Amino acid sequence: MDEKSDFYNRPEFIQTDPIQIVHGFESKEDIEIAGFLTATISWGNRKSIITSATKMMDCMDRSPFEFVMNHTEEDLRSLDHFVHRTFNAQDLKYFIRSLQHIYLNKGGLERVFASNATKKSLQEAIHRFKQVFFELPHHPRTEKHVSDPLKNSAAKRINMFLRWMVRPNDSGVDFGLWNSLHPSQLSCPLDIHTGNVARKLGLIKRAQNDAKTVKELDHSLRTMDPEDPVKYDFALFGLGVFEGFK
């Protein structure tokens, strides 16, 4: 696992990964917002995800933080035709408004997560983040695009976003922007690939990919490396996607 983590945790393997979108930005806030929005739509075909995320950044003139903070209602109309699977323009417009609210009134994304983190986990922080994120008036359907581990969701996409923000950027893949959180608090982004490989390796036993399985996988990965358990995400995903290990 250590060998495979080292092998896949390198820039060569992000050329077909949605994280490449986020690497197009330099400022902390641009990276945070591009990362959060890209992670939000990261389900389905990866090529389609990258295409949709690119369109989303183009709609914001490739200045996501400035767009979030200074947009007008007319600016939001430029998003009218955006759609990625079930995430549509109505959802994206609310996400823009909510992100503005968080940066103006809550101290930004990092502070919301950090202020609700526990010593060993960020799953409670994700739950609380969802509550904060939907404080503004919104259509109920939009809530499905932010998962809640306390409702037994694996919360794969938001755990992936947190990995991007928290893990150090030593290898040029993750960003290590959030110093108020530590890699030891992260949970592995659990999806069909990582789940199948983890079962094959005996790291988890549960058949479902849900919050209980994430907790089980957390325990196994922390046994191998309590300081940086989610580095094994690279091994699990790489073995499944690139090597067909099932």
User: Could you read off the pLDDT of 46-75 as tens digits, one per residue?
Assistant: 999 999 999 999 999 999 999 999 999 999
Which residues, other chains included, contact 12 with Cβ-Cβ below 8 Å and sequence gap of 6+?
A: none
Residue 29 placed within a domain: yes
> What pLDDT was estimated at residue 109?
98
> What pLDDT was estimated at residue 244?
82
Q: Is the pLDDT of residue 15 over 90?
A: no
Over the range 162-201, which residues count as b (16 or more CB within 10 Å of their CB) and which as e? bbbbbbeeebebbbebbeebbbbbbbbbbbebbbbbbbee
Question: In which residue are the tokens 């994700």 written?
Answer: 126
Residue 246 placed within a domain: no
CA 56 to each of CA 34, 59, 79, 193, 219: distance values in angstroms, whole numbers, following the listed order: 9, 5, 8, 26, 36
Q: Is the pLDDT of residue 16 over 90?
A: no
Asked if residue 191 lies in contact with residue 209, where contact means CB atoms within 8 angstroms, the answer is yes
**Average pLDDT of the segment spanning 220-234:** 97
User: Could you read off the pLDDT of 94-151 as tens digits, one per residue?
Assistant: 999 999 999 999 999 999 999 999 999 999 999 999 999 999 999 999 999 999 999 9
User: Could you read off the pLDDT of 184-203 as tens digits, one per residue?
Assistant: 999 999 999 999 999 999 99
- Hey, how many other C-beta atoms are within 10 angstroms of the C-beta on 207? 9
Residue 44 binned pLDDT confidence (cut-offs 50, 70, 90): confident
> What pLDDT was estimated at residue 212?
98
- Domain count along the chain: 1
DSSP letters, 134-149, are T-S---GGGGGGS--G
Residue 175 binned pLDDT confidence (cut-offs 50, 70, 90): very high
Parent domain of 225: 2-241
User: Could you read off the pLDDT of 81-96 as tens digits, one per residue?
Assistant: 999 999 999 999 999 9
The C-alpha R_g of the chain, in whole angstroms, comes to 17
Residue 17 placed within a domain: yes
Q: Is the pLDDT of residue 246 over 80?
A: no
Residue 14 binned pLDDT confidence (cut-offs 50, 70, 90): confident
> What pLDDT was estimated at residue 188?
97
Residue 223 placed within a domain: yes
Nearest to 163 by CA among 152, 146, 149, 177: 177
Residue 165 placed within a domain: yes
Averaged confidence pLDDT in the chain:
96
Residue 132 placed within a domain: yes
Residue 178 placed within a domain: yes
> What pLDDT was estimated at residue 207?
95
Q: Which of these ranges, 28-32, 52-56, 96-100, 239-243, has the smallest mean pLDDT?
A: 239-243
Percent of the chain predicted with pLDDT > 90: 95
Strand partners, 83: 88
Question: Mapping DSSP to helix (H, G, I), strand (E, B) and coil, where does residue 203 land?
Answer: coil
